[in-house]
Chains A and B, each alone.
Chain A
Amino acid sequence: MRIDLDILQQWIEPRSRVLDLGCGGGTLLAELAARKQVTGYGLEIDHAKISQCIAKRVSVIEQNLDEGLQNFDSGSFDTVVMSQTLQAVRYPHRVLDEMLRIGRECIVSFPNFGHWRCRYHLVLRGHMPVSEFLPYTWYDTPNIHFCTIADFEDFCREHGIRILNRRYVTAGRDDDRLSVAWPNMLAEMAIYRLTR
């Protein structure tokens, strides 16, 4: 399992209701159902991934995040998760707003565009970064709204979003000393637990 999914599972209560936006092949929800008896729903638009969810007996709704989440009642989920999808939505601020409306808590993970390797690609080599976490070329990428950890922290402060936890991942390791000391430069990925 991807490390961010491993980490964020710790923040999800047994037998709670979880909505996973951009749930992919349903790995997280299948795990949560098996380990924590969670009632989970995933949203996805990729046809192959939807089939993978169905094969795993994960409840998946074919729905495009960019077309809104009005069909979900306020406060109807314990946790709304969006892992590695924030950078791919049309209006990240609206989706975050909606997540905080629908869920008591939200968990968001995203690639940190402030990581030194991104800066190196951009500043010294003059190219958009391509790496293991960001494997796409600029012209063919689902990722349209990159942010840095510093940007995200600013965003939460400006929008009155309370940060309950933050975790950083570097080189596949969770919260090593260096990335905690200087996350915006050294963390490849950030995972935030949020509430209003």
Chain B
Amino acid sequence: MPAEIPADSVGIVTPQQIDFPGPVQLASGRALAPVRIVYETYGTLNAARSNAVLICHALSGHHHAAGYHSLADDKPGWWDYYIGPGKPIDTNRFFVVSLNNIGGCHGSTGPTSTNPDTGRPWGPDFPRLRVRDWVKTQAMLMDALGIDVWAAVVGGSLGGMQAMRWCVDYPERLRHCVVIASAMKLTAQNLAFNEIARQAITSDPDFHDGRYLEHDTAPRKGLAIARMVGHVTYLSGDAMGQKFGRDLRRGTFEPGTEATIEFQVGSYLRYQGETFSDRFDANTYLLMTQALDYFDLARDFNDNPAQAFAKTGSRFLVISFTTDWRFSPERSREIANALLRAGKAVTYAEIDSEYGHDAFLIPIERYRQVFGTYMHSIEV
């Protein structure tokens, strides 16, 4: 719990929700109805409605990006370092919209919602989603809020993919696109890690073909392992080494003992996995990783990403982090190069950081400066 709300915090925020009767036509060919979207807003929409910024969340994110829900919260929203008065996404200037994507498990329609046809949870029957479905439903929310054009669409990781997708599907509806630690498609290595994560979930005896809610249980072990694998890929080897080294939590290397040893790093990962299992839905995890796997910005454009960006009037900021091996700087340079070829205004910065992929969530001075300077240069 914060002793008091910091001056540069958006303060206490209350999630809102909006219901669309649907049906919403999805890329899979199926339709979804009804659709509820849970979201938060920070700052004030100006009279010209020209200062709205959309935050797109990553794999395990949600609508609560900044501020506190109550004074009892021990932590603020997931991107609180970067959203608030005077912060890079300055709520004194911008009206910030942050939502939980459909398929999520934090209030928006997803696998834990009730399937109106059966009266039971959607579970594994929830339609498969693609990044473009999220963008489409984000545009529905945008229309409902009376916003014609985003001043900026901003996202890290999977969120960056949504931001890029905006430029393809609604090329005139955003003025700036900020893509952080992202990629135009996953590598084979990325796909491999996601497959391990899904196998961990689906092979858990409590998975019940995805109908675990109807069995009043959940594949907690499987989801925890999936998260552990994911977590390793979000950190750099050096960061892990510095944080844990080979420190023991239990046991000893002394000869003449047989007691099991436990490393600090193992205990940390297990804790991360278990707490994640408490708050996240396994079907959502499967669905989000599949959307990630499926994403390939240039697939519909003869694998030419410059062509994918051709129509947009947006300007771009692309940021990568040196030790990110999940979405390496090379992936971000590919984005910048495609934008160069397309003749779009693009700034690319490579931030020195030891924190791996997670760097995009962490306070880093140069990152803050580049991001903040860019956001400040946006006219509202």
Contact = CB atoms under 8 A, between A and B. Distances in A.
* Chain A to chain B: the 8 pairs with minimum beta-carbon distance, closest first: A54-B373, A61-B348, A59-B345, A71-B337, A62-B349, A62-B350, A51-B373, A54-B374
A58 B349 CA distance: 13
A71 B346 CA distance: 14
A59 B347 CA distance: 5
A59 B346 contact: yes
A171 interface: no
A143 B72 CA distance: 58
B5 interface: no
A191 B237 CA distance: 48
Nearest to A73: B341
Nearest to B348: A61
Contact of B336 (A39, A51, A61): A61
Interface string B338-355: 001101011111100000
A47 interface: yes
A41 B376 CA distance: 20
B377 A55 contact: yes
A72 B340 contact: yes
Nearest to A76: B341
Given A39-B343, A50-B349, 4 more contacts: A39-B345, A41-B346, A63-B348, A72-B340
Interface string A33-47: 000000101000001
A119 interface: no
B249 interface: no
Interface residues of B, number: 21
B366 interface: yes
- For B337, B340, B345, B376, which residue has the most chain A Cβ atoms within 10 angstroms? B340
Contact of B369 (A39, A51, A53, A62): A51
A54 B343 CA distance: 17
Nearest to A50: B349
A172 to B, nearest CB: 32
A73 to B, nearest CB: 7
A52 to B, nearest CB: 9
A37 to B, nearest CB: 13
Nearest to A72: B340
Given A60-B347, A61-B346, A62-B348, A54 B370 contact: yes
Contacts of B340: 41, 61, 71-72, 76
A73 B374 CA distance: 27
A60 B370 CA distance: 11
A47 B366 contact: yes
5 contacts: A51-B373, A54-B317, A59-B345, A60-B347, A61-B348
Nearest to A51: B373
A50 B377 CA distance: 13
A17 interface: yes
B318 to A, nearest CB: 9
B297 to A, nearest CB: 18
A57 interface: yes
Interface in B124-175: none
A60 B316 CA distance: 11
B270 interface: no
A55 B347 CA distance: 11
B333 interface: yes
A51 B370 CA distance: 6
Contacts of A54: 317, 347, 370, 373-374, 377
Interface in A1-24: 17
A72 B337 CA distance: 8
Interface string B360-380: 000000100110011011000
B345 to A, nearest CB: 5
